[in-house]
Structure 1
Amino acid sequence: MRNLKLFTKIFLYTFLVMLFVTVMAHVFLYVLAPQMTVSTNRFVEGAIIESDVNTGILIKSAIGKALPVSLLCCAIISAGCSLLFSRAMTRPIKQIAVTTEKMEKLDKAAACVVHTKDEIGELAARVNKLYASLLSTIENLEEEKQNVREAERLKIDFLRAASHELKTPVTALNAILENMILGIGKYKDRDRCLLECKEITGQLSFMIKEILDTSRLDFTQEKQDAETFDLSERLPAICEPYQLIAKAKGLDFSFSIQGKCPVHTSKKSLEKILSNLLSNAVAYTKPGCKITVILNARQIKIENECTPIPPDKLAHVFEPFYRPDFARDRKDGGNGLGLYIVDTLSKALGMPYQFEATKNPPGMCFTLYLP
């Protein structure tokens, strides 16, 4: 019996139980019925005469003749009822088994369809709920896997760019030192060359610090640090240091806050995005020109009057260590990491942006769409 399928087991159990009840009913009837007596009244010559007639032999004989046919009919009826009962019990279970086989293959359309409200219906509902939770977990894991893969790719690209960027000053420093050792031409003036070497090592130190700080940013973790705050209250404090720098450079720096601006995101990351944008705006704006910051409930816009970036260069400004041709000097063009950090953090926070040139007045405009 252990190796039989559920339908066969239910059929056999039900049929045997019904057959046992039928046989016992016939046995009781065959044994007890002959012991019954029937009382009869007869009229004889106008008088009523009571007599007891023992009908046991007649009943036993009748039951004996009908017993085979009765047992056969009851057996057939029992088999039919057992078959119907077995089907009714095993059909929803078979449906659940077929559906779970599809679920095993991760068929997203698979679902147990059982309309009963008994334990089997509850089981089907729990299987559906468990499968939905499993699919959701798999999707989350796939998304997390994709995010980790993307983060690893970004790190590899960043390290490649960093190694290439560090190679230039190291090569220059090595060339100066070799020429100093050989005493070639102007490199005989060691005091001047040492000052140049010190300047290069200072640049290297600054670049290494910037690279390390950037590499410590966990771009995949930014969304988990989200909190709700009013950006309109934080913006003046973010702009204040850049206002002072702009004033010292003779720039016209102004910002406009158009009402409350509640956002739900990482405060630290959003402030870093804005700081990098404002730093770039101050660095690339010519003396006497304007920088304007406009904040409303949907977006923040940073405009500065400068030499517009050509469209063919604009596609590369978010690459690490990239500087346009007119800003190749690190003293003027920075380290090339600011917009890379802006781009990566914005994508991590799910905040789209637009960076485009303006015609009147000529300059650049960065628009960040807030969540």
Structure 2
Amino acid sequence: MKPRLFGIFGKVFFYTLLILLLVISVMLVFFADQIKSVVGSTQREQIAEVFQTLIQETKGKSEDDIVRIAQRFHETNASFEFSVMSSDGEVLYRTDRFDMPPPDLRLPDVPEVVRGESFHTTGKFLLSPSASSEKVQFITLLSGDVKLQVSGTISGASIYREFFERTFVAFLLLLAASVAAAFLFAYRIAEPIRNIAGDTRRMSLLESVPPPPAARKDEIGQLANDVYKMYKALKSTIRQLETEVEREKEMEENQRYFFSAASHELKTPIAATSALLEGMLEKVIEPSEYPDTLRECLKMMKEQNKLVSEILEIVALNNHTLVLRKEQVCLARYLAANLPACLSIAEAKKQTVDFDVPEKLSCTIDSKLFGKAFSNIMLNAIQNTPDGGRIRVYANESESGIRLCVLNEGVSISPELLPKLFEPFYREDRSRSREQGRSGLGLALVKKALEFMGIPYALENTVEGVRFRMDLPSLRLDES
């Protein structure tokens, strides 16, 4: 993402540069004034130092001697303008370009140090600034009451000119350094914010966003971490919502299929019953056959009643309207009590049922609901085991609890058909299932019941045959 001129990068850059330039300008003005003051003070000290020679030479001299000494001094120091005056104000000697001080300027006592707006003294020198800021006047006593007045030039303009000439290159270097510093500072401030803005833009498009760097520990780093955590939470929520939507679609599709299949399963026997009853009313069926016909109708109605009951149980399990009533049972005695009804069907098919469940195993289950599931598993095993075949019911302890298995020996089911067997009204052989009184809801009811009770299960092919296994929560009787 390129830095925008009027974005946060541009604003931080220009504000920082403006502050740096303002600070540099104030510093230049301050140092220029200080340099001028120092140079001016130095020049005044130098002027005073030059005239110390004249003062020393005129000590104890007469006025005529002082005039000759002043002339000789001016010849060697022609750049200075001065005058020598007697005590009554008569000018004894004056250079050509000397500016006379105002007549009201009064010389105080020499030992006195005077400080005011008009003049001040340093040692024996009385300094009085002239109307021009470029000049300063010195007044002091020579021999006796003879006064020496000096007019010296302080080159302020030249000082400023030389200062700015010398500092121009330095100013350009400082300006370049300020621009670079402002750019770097603005980049360091704006870059993580631009990254956060780019990440949030990708988040709004549901694109993948990498986690922020862990090196940054300041407020911007905290903001990036908070935004990323919010993104992960929103992404997780969206994923959950998508899963819920898919689950709802799947449930709607399953319900649509379930009711369609249920309608078909109910319609066929009802139509057959109606046909038989209409045949009796229309005297198509002989009166001597009425008992057999009515028994057939009653049989079909019982099957329909059983089918409706199973449908209602599946609906109740699906809607979670049932209340689990768990109790502790001895698994061996509980299963043995539920086997007799199934054993009679197995004996009719000359099948052998081996039962191997240790007496010490105990578990906590809803005995009524689990009993229906176990009965349907056994009936399904008997139905899919050939005549004269063998069925094994066994249990053993495992890491997750008690593993209860029902094994059909010598049979196999295509892997593609295994998940379909739990679909409502699915029959691999519809005609044979109807003849055996199977509704096609057995394994569907088993699936709903075990899932409702939270019991893991699986239907799988093994080397020995087809096995249905369940993992029950264990509780050994010798521990209870």
- Structure 1 residue 18 displacement after superposition: 1.6
Structure number with the higher helix fraction is 1
Q: Summarize the Cα distance change of 1:289–1:353 in structure 2 as closer, same or farther, 3 Å threshold.
A: closer
1: CA distance, partners of 2:269 / 2:180: 93
1:318 aligns with 2:422: yes
Paired residue type of 2:335: C
Paired residue type of 1:95: N
- Structure 1 residue 366 displacement after superposition: 1.9
Paired residue type of 2:159: A
Report if aligned partners of 2:332, 2:358 keep a CA contact under 8 Å in 1: no
Cα root mean square deviation, aligned: 4.8
Q: How many corresponding residue pairs?
A: 354
Q: Summarize the Cα distance change of 1:341–1:246 in structure 2 as closer, same or farther, 3 Å threshold.
A: closer
Match of 2:374 among 277, 282, 301: 277
Q: Summarize the Cα distance change of 1:262–1:89 in structure 2 as closer, same or farther, 3 Å threshold.
A: farther
Match of 1:302 in 2: 405
- Structure 1 residue 339 displacement after superposition: 1.1
Match of 1:112 in 2: 212
Report if aligned partners of 2:276, 2:297 keep a CA contact under 8 Å in 1: yes
Percentage identity across paired residues of the two chains: 24
- Structure 1 residue 141 displacement after superposition: 2.5
Paired residue type of 2:374: L
Match of 2:182 among 73, 82, 88: 82
Report if aligned partners of 2:408, 2:466 keep a CA contact under 8 Å in 1: yes
Report if aligned partners of 1:318, 1:343 keep a CA contact under 8 Å in 2: yes
1:123 aligns with 2:219: no
Match of 2:335 among 239, 242, 247: 239
Paired residue type of 2:403: I
- Structure 1 residue 71 displacement after superposition: 5.0
- Structure 1 residue 327 displacement after superposition: 5.0
Match of 1:98 among 160, 179, 198: 198
Q: SS at the partner of 1:116?
A: coil
Q: Within 5 Å, which residues of 2 pair with 1:12-161?
A: 12-31=14-33, 34=36, 37-38=41-42, 42=49, 44=53, 57-58=154-155, 61-67=158-164, 69=168, 72-108=172-208, 110-113=210-213, 115-161=215-261
Paired residue type of 2:182: S
Q: Summarize the Cα distance change of 1:317–1:82 in structure 2 as closer, same or farther, 3 Å threshold.
A: closer
Match of 2:118 in 1: none
- Structure 1 residue 146 displacement after superposition: 2.7
Q: SS at the partner of 1:157?
A: helix
2: CA distance, partners of 1:73 / 1:289: 99
Q: SS at the partner of 1:115?
A: coil
Gaps of 5+ in 1: none
1:218 aligns with 2:318: yes
- Structure 1 residue 34 displacement after superposition: 4.4
Q: Summarize the Cα distance change of 1:153–1:29 in structure 2 as closer, same or farther, 3 Å threshold.
A: same
Name whichever of 84-93 and 312-321 sits farther off: 312-321
Q: Summarize the Cα distance change of 1:203–1:30 in structure 2 as closer, same or farther, 3 Å threshold.
A: same
1: CA distance, partners of 2:404 / 2:125: 119
Match of 2:458 among 338, 347, 353: 353
Q: Summarize the Cα distance change of 1:247–1:5 in structure 2 as closer, same or farther, 3 Å threshold.
A: closer
Report if aligned partners of 2:373, 2:446 keep a CA contact under 8 Å in 1: yes
- Structure 1 residue 172 displacement after superposition: 0.8
Match of 1:340 in 2: 444
Deviations 1:337-362 (A, max 9, x none): 12123346668969452344886xxx
- Structure 1 residue 171 displacement after superposition: 1.0
Gaps of 5+ in 2: 60-122, 135-153, 474-480
- Structure 1 residue 175 displacement after superposition: 0.2
Deviations 1:287-315 (A, max 9, x none): 99875231322562433678x66646975
> What TM-score, normalized to structure 1?
0.72
Paired residue type of 2:6: L
1: CA distance, partners of 2:455 / 2:353: 32
> What TM-score, normalized to structure 2?
0.58
Report if aligned partners of 2:404, 2:472 keep a CA contact under 8 Å in 1: no
- Structure 1 residue 281 displacement after superposition: 1.6
Larger C-alpha radius of gyration, 1 or 2?
2
2: CA distance, partners of 1:34 / 1:255: 113
